[in-house]
Amino acid sequence: MRFDESEQRGSIAVVSFFVARDGRYQAHGYGVSQWSSKQVNGPAVCGLLARQVETHCPAEGFMPARLTVDLLRPVLNEPIAVHSVVVREGARVIVADASIVQEGEVRARASAVFLASASAAPGEMWQPRASLPAPQVQLTSPDGEPPLLKCGESEWTDNLAAGRNADRKVLWQNLIPLVEGEAISPFQRAAAMGDATNFVCHWGSAGIGYINTDMTLTLSRLPEGPELGLQAQEQVTGDGIAVGTATLYDRVGRLGTCVVTAVADARRPVPAARHAAAAR
């Protein structure tokens, strides 16, 4: 039985990717896929799996350094149970796995690596000097605000339809809560944003013609504040398979990278405005 997607708290509509009851989660609103209303979208799945593996991270001294999500099959828009297990628990490395099983099949799975924090290694290393654009206006609403898009040298805009082109893209947004009644954590925020790599890297003049089958997020630190930026860095395509790489950052600077692999679906490219709205 599905939860009521029109459920409200008082007179204010619930704004989140999921509502939770009895240990299960029902997608609604922006958690529902734009490919099909019978499915859950990628940002919601990545965020939910991140939320589950995060329960295995010690409170202090460790941070999530990598999350890899395999989107094996469409996650159905039905009540979801998430399972997890600690694979390794060491003094410096903790590894945890999580999975979503529906109709007897693993629909999505994730593996996270938590590393112990330490002092920086001595010496100097090369680092990129490219600028990371950030809009002057700050997105601070706890209920989320329309994402902002920057294409090439153009100005920031919340009119995502204006980005139907082959320019390099940057997405900037403040994500809504993952689960109703619960503040989204910095790690969950980064994981959900990571799935939008397919949006910034594989959106062209005819829409988004690729479906990502995975997402790998790497982090050197956790986000500070509610805003995150995602800038396309690399895009490689061949034989209907594409790889997109993006830089994840906040107003302080770089956090890490996001990588997706995707397969072409030219039969039903999704208009970018619909796809990006799902990541709000």
Q: Record the tokens describing residue 271, joined without a space.
A: 């208009």
- Residue 272, pLDDT score: 52
187 pLDDT above the threshold of 50: yes
Could you tell me where the beta strands, DSSP code E, fall in 53-205? 62-70, 82-89, 93-102, 105-116, 148-151, 169-174, 203-204
In our burial notation (b when 16+ CB lie closer than 10 A, e otherwise), range 52-82 reads bbbebbeeeebbbbebbbbbeebbbbbbbeb
List pLDDT tens digits, range 24-53: 999 998 899 987 899 999 999 999 999 999
2 pLDDT above the threshold of 60: no
Assigned fold of 8-116+135-277:
Porin (2.40.160)
- Residue 207, pLDDT score: 86
Average pLDDT, stretch 230-238? 96
Residue whose token pair is 């320019």: 167
- Residue 151, pLDDT score: 96
Average pLDDT, stretch 160-175? 92
160 pLDDT above the threshold of 80: yes
Average pLDDT, stretch 267-276? 52
When the pLDDT of each residue in the chain is averaged and rounded to a whole number, the result is: 89
3 pLDDT above the threshold of 60: no
176 pLDDT above the threshold of 90: yes
Q: Record the tokens describing residue 71, joined without a space.
A: 């989107």
- Residue 267, pLDDT score: 63
pTM: 0.89
